[in-house]
Structure 1
């Protein structure tokens, strides 16, 4: 039995390039791509998904693995996977920004801790929002949906046609800039309520100059802030679901798939 070099080259390219796209997504996505997950676990997951998904790819690979073209395709497939995983990161960072805005307005900004997943200091309130978002993300099988999208992308965006990915890349950049406006709109009611509270304290200070604003104002702002957060949690789930749906639609648009 004679095995041609071209057949071996296509077979290796099928698995190697698929592995680059899948591992790129797992490296950048939330939960699986954090420091809490051992890199060996990510490698094992990427290999497992590749072994299952690669045989389903029917396109032929006109890529010589021993050429500069192969390096270009490896980098391109990795960038595609990273971009899809990055979308889930943006969804979570929206709630970190929202928690930081509320924490600064309520005087809880000093309560911060080091996020073990990113290694940066974040407000405790923002970390609480991220933990809630993580639980909801797992409950709605968001991680499985991302894996499904990346596997389906090999049919709608074949490896030989991956250059078309850059057509809609500006949509990812535009959507990233909306992270701050979305977080602001999410906590707008809380900001207005706290602004009214600050104005009330200012009127009290002008009416009674002997009133110690530091002794009275800070406890009042903290209590009011905690109450506002309690009411704000009721709208947390709808906001998160809306963000997830927008991120999913964007990922499908980038990969030319239907959600």
Structure 2
């Protein structure tokens, strides 16, 4: 299977097979949220990837790997494995991006865009509401067992796309791009109740400032916007959580559609 021979016989063949299986699984975990978060140590990622690869090698012995990994055929097979893994993880990443976009809209309407914090998932910065939404979505993702379902879909992808037959096709890439538009639509639905209330508060504040010019618009509008936004978030919390649960289900359905021939 490999030009390099360590003299370990059948054990070496199994080792190279596990290493090959780790490429797709590792790429999927790297592109996916939560699993590929910057706060997760590299040793933990490699350990999880290796454990899943061993399980896949045990559960799916029919998966054939290239005879020589370091050959041209083997390198092309590795590139295809990486593409499949990145596609499966990217779909899940799009789902986790929707709450962040919604939080940007809400924070901008409340005048709290300046309140940013470190993003443990992506490594950049995000608003405080964005961090809160991502934590809530992650808890829903874990509590519903969606992470196990997603890992199972990654394992099932070996049956749908065996090594060497990993070309997704233009229609699947178009479907993944279409899911990005669904992400923006979901973000608007999440932020719509709060932004409507904030718009109403701003209109009322503008009317008061016109009727009583002596009032300080900034001293009145900013606290009113923050209080109204917090109240709107509390009132619309059940609706937002339902949107998050639906988003997780849609992300799994979209991931499954990628591997279904």
Alignment TM-score > 0.5, same fold: yes
Q: 1:28 aligns with which of 24, 28, 31?
A: 31
**Residues 72-99 of structure 1: CA deviation (Å, up to 9, x unaligned):** 1101101211211122221111101111
Match for residue 77 of structure 2?
Answer: 73
Consecutive unaligned residues of structure 2, counting only runs of 5 or more, are none
| Whole-Å separation in 2 of the counterparts to 1:14 and 1:145 | 24
Q: 2:242 aligns with which of 216, 226, 238?
A: 238
| Whole-Å separation in 1 of the counterparts to 2:260 and 2:234 | 40
| Whole-Å separation in 2 of the counterparts to 1:14 and 1:249 | 29
Deviation at 1:168, TM superposition (A): 1.0
Q: 1:123 aligns with which of 120, 123, 127?
A: 127
Match for residue 153 of structure 2?
Answer: 149
Kept after mapping to 2: 8 A contact 1:13/1:63: no
| Whole-Å separation in 2 of the counterparts to 1:113 and 1:164 | 37
| Whole-Å separation in 2 of the counterparts to 1:252 and 1:44 | 25
Deviation at 1:112, TM superposition (A): 1.1
Q: What SS does the aligned partner of 2:126 have?
A: strand
Match for residue 49 of structure 1?
Answer: 52
Q: Give me the TM-score of the superposition, normalised by structure 2.
A: 0.88
Q: Structure 1's 212 and 167: CA in aligned 2 closer, same or farther, altered over 3 A?
A: closer
RMSD between aligned residues = 2.2
| 1:101 equivalent in alignment to 2:73 | no
Greater mean alpha carbon deviation, residues 9-18 or residues 103-112: 9-18
Kept after mapping to 1: 8 A contact 2:31/2:93: yes
Consecutive unaligned residues of structure 1, counting only runs of 5 or more, are none
Greater mean alpha carbon deviation, residues 35-44 or residues 57-66: 57-66
| 1:87 equivalent in alignment to 2:68 | no
Judging by fraction of residues, say which structure has more helix. 1
Q: Structure 1's 208 and 218: CA in aligned 2 closer, same or farther, altered over 3 A?
A: same
| Whole-Å separation in 2 of the counterparts to 1:236 and 1:189 | 9
Q: Structure 1's 47 and 25: CA in aligned 2 closer, same or farther, altered over 3 A?
A: same
| Whole-Å separation in 2 of the counterparts to 1:62 and 1:82 | 20
Kept after mapping to 2: 8 A contact 1:29/1:88: yes
| Whole-Å separation in 2 of the counterparts to 1:38 and 1:62 | 30
Q: Structure 1's 144 and 234: CA in aligned 2 closer, same or farther, altered over 3 A?
A: same
Deviation at 1:234, TM superposition (A): 1.4
Q: What SS does the aligned partner of 2:18 have?
A: helix
Q: How many residues align?
A: 252
**Residues 82-140 of structure 1: CA deviation (Å, up to 9, x unaligned):** 21112222111110111111011011222111223323221101111111111111111
